[in-house]
């Protein structure tokens, strides 16, 4: 079997993302990413991996397969994510499982944002049990996207919550949808200003790196490079990775084609509009010149109106 030619796998592929972030053997990478993402607002000490496939409770219900589904070990009382007013004052009660999923999405498929809402809802519903008093464990849907949402301004990271539209006060702090955009990271490693930008840069560019790359030589993310090393893959993994890589390349080629096609159409429409405007301007100038000469030889305005009608200027 032909080996993978790049030292590191493409983390944007479905296989690559799950290999790097969704394997117990690479838990350190996931912990690093989560703590960089939360930037001290929430400290994640450990994660417990769960079955990524969620079967429907009804016969005709929706089957879900997450990229990564975990609960994380942390404490509410230590986190600014959780308002003091909602703390119980009991340290044991303040400790709870924080449910989260982590998804990689390379292309916008409508309605992706509503899919995230559905995922969050399933994590909430899954907490229900007999005698339950509706005290929720926090849920996080974290999505790394290679696109920006058209109805939202471009931004590196968003933390979306249920808040009052005017005061921005949260109704509850138990629901978070976090969006990280690969479109908003620098094109060069040297221009990354934060750890989050660096982590996202690695996700987007790992396949193109080797041991001469600046990011590798700096030596600050050894666990990420080790998790993405192509030589670690088994023969069966290589087969699955190649399929996943082909799908990603098909998507990227499709996006490039649609982008170039749209640009070409816009240019053609612009040129056609420019030619039409040019003809209209030339015609208007010719008529204006004729009207000017008609007035110079004493033709009345009424006659000019009859001659040129709506073209009178």
Whole-number pLDDT of residue 40? 82
pLDDT at 59: 47
* Cβ atoms 120, 175 nearer than 8 A: yes
Q: Model's pTM, two decimal places?
A: 0.77
Dist CA 107 CA 100 (whole Å): 22
Backbone phi and psi for residue 175, each to the nearest 5 degrees, phi listed first: -125, 120
In angstroms, the Cα distances linking 44 to 23, 37, 152, 161 are 17, 11, 29, 20
* Residue 78, CA distances (Å) to 81, 87, 91, 139, 232 in order: 9, 10, 10, 17, 38
Beta carbons within 8 Å of 156's beta carbon, 6+ residues apart: 180, 181, 184, 185, 196, 197, 200
What pLDDT digit, counting tens, does each position of 262-307 carry?
778 877 776 666 666 666 666 677 777 777 666 666 666 665 666 6
What's the confidence (pLDDT) of residue 34?
95
Predicted confidence at residue 93, as pLDDT, reads 45
Helix and strand element counts for the chain (H, E): 9, 8
> What pLDDT is stored for residue 313 in this prediction?
41
pLDDT digits (tens, 9 = 90+) for 105-135: 999 988 899 999 999 999 998 888 888 888 8
State the pLDDT at residue 235: 93
| Predicted local confidence at residue 274, as pLDDT | 62
With a cut of 70, which residues of the chain have pLDDT below it?
1-2, 52-64, 74-96, 270-283, 292-313
What's the order of all strands across the beta sheet hosting 139-145? 46-49, 68-75, 95-105, 139-145, 170-181, 157-163
Alpha-helical runs (H) found in the chain: 14-21, 27-38, 91-94, 112-125, 195-205, 214-218, 222-227, 235-296, 301-308
The pLDDT, as a whole number, for residue 143 is 97
Q: Give residue limits of the domains in the chain.
A: 14-233
């Amino acid at each position: 079997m032909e080996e993978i030619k790049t030292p590191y796998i493409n983390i944007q592929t479905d296989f690559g993302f799950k290999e790097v972030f969704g394997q117990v053997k690479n838990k350190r990478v996931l912990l690093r990413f989560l703590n960089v993402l939360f930037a001290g607002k929430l400290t994640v000490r450990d994660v417990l991996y769960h079955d990524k496939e969620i079967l429907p409770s009804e016969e005709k219900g929706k089957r879900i397969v997450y990229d990564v589904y975990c609960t994380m070990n942390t404490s509410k009382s230590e986190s600014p994510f959780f308002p003091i007013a909602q703390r119980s004052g009991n340290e044991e009660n303040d400790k709870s499982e924080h449910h989260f999923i982590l998804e990689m999405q390379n292309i916008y498929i409508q309605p992706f944002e509503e899919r995230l809402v559905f995922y969050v809802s399933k994590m909430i519903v899954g907490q229900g049990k007999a005698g339950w008093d509706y005290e929720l464990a926090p849920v996080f849907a974290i999505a790394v996207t290679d696109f920006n949402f058209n109805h939202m301004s471009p931004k590196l990271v968003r933390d979306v919550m249920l808040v009052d539209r005017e005061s921005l006060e949260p109704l509850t702090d138990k629901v978070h949808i976090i969006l990280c955009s690969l479109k908003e990271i620098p094109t060069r490693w040297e221009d990354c200003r934060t750890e989050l930008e660096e982590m996202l840069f690695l996700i987007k560019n790992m396949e193109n790196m080797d041991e001469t790359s600046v990011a590798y030589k700096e030596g600050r993310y050894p666990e990420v490079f080790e998790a993405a090393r192509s030589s670690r893959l088994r023969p069966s993994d290589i087969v699955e990775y190649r399929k996943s890589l082909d799908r990603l390349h098909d998507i990227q080629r499709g996006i490039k084609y649609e982008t170039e096609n749209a640009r070409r159409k816009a240019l053609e429409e612009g040129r056609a509009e420019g030619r039409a405007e040019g003809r209209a301007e030339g015609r208007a100038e010719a008529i204006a010149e004729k009207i000017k000469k008609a007035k110079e030889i004493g033709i009345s305005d009424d006659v000019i109106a009859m001659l040129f009608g709506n073209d009178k200027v």
